[in-house]
């Protein structure tokens, strides 16, 4: 049974992860030939799912998307607004929601072991890419081969690295958070 402090801690962490996702979006490296940049935001989305679980992770992503939809410059390269959802990268934004739920659910099944987190990350990123590449294809009017070449293939090595880093970082971060929460509830 969660106590009030635990719910408050999770809500604060969801807001923190929305901020981290926003910061990760600022670190955007354009790739020639595609409107999709390399960003760190998906690593923080992975961490949100792993650390907060599926539903609080989803809350952090939804909060992030609301901030961006409201026009705050939290999307890749410091952009924002509803127009981003209609553009070629809008599918990735929408895909973050089911992706974080998949990360969170699957990592919980594996009891937060890093190697299971890697598998959860691969599945969750695949979910994000289904939405992202499909939207990219539709907006640009290209065939599937071109859409995959522009919206998936260049990102695989970096996303594998982000999945591994997030999977290794998640268990010790969770352990530290549990320790902090225990110390604050004891004191």
Map out the domains of the chain as residue ranges. Answer: 4-180
Q: Rounded to an integer, what distance in angstroms lies between the CA atom of residue 175 and that of residue 108?
A: 14
- Segments of the chain assigned E as strands: 28-29, 38-39
> pLDDT in tens for each of the 187 residues of the chain?
343 457 888 899 999 999 999 999 998 888 888 899 889 999 999 999 999 999 999 999 999 999 999 999 999 988 999 999 999 999 999 999 999 999 999 988 876 677 888 999 999 999 999 999 999 999 999 999 999 999 999 999 999 999 999 988 888 888 887 777 777 766 5
Q: Which residues pair with 75 in a beta bridge?
A: 79
Amino acid 5: pLDDT: 53
List the one residue out of 157, 156, 50 whose CA is nearest residue 100: 50
Residue 25 tokens, joined: 């979006």
Among 131, 130, 134, 128, CA closest to 147: 134
| Rounded CA separation 135/133 (Å) | 5
Amino acid 186: pLDDT: 64
Cα gap 144→136, rounded to integer Å: 10
Classify domain 4-180 by CATH number: 1.10.1760.20
Beta-carbon count within 10 A of 21 CB: 29
Q: What are the phi and psi torsion angles at 38 (to 5°)?
A: -80, 130
């Amino acid at each position: 049974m969660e106590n009030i402090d635990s719910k408050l801690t999770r809500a604060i962490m969801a807001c923190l992860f929305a901020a981290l996702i926003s910061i990760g979006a600022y670190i955007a490296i354009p790739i020639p030939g595609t409107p999709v940049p390399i960003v760190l935001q998906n690593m923080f989305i992975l961490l949100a799912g792993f650390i907060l679980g599926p539903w609080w992770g989803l809350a952090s992503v939804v909060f992030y998307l609301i901030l961006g939809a409201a026009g705050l410059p939290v999307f890749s390269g410091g952009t924002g607004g509803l127009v981003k959802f209609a553009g070629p990268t809008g599918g990735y934004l929408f895909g973050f929601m089911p992706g974080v739920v998949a990360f969170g659910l699957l990592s919980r099944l594996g009891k937060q072991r890093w190697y299971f987190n890697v598998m959860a990350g691969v599945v969750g990123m695949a979910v994000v890419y289904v939405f992202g590449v499909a939207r990219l294809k539709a907006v640009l009017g290209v065939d599937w081969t071109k859409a995959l070449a522009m919206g998936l293939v260049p990102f695989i090595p970096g996303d594998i690295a982000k999945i591994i880093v997030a999977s290794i970082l998640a268990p010790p971060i969770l352990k530290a958070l549990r320790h902090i929460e225990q110390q604050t509830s004891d004191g």
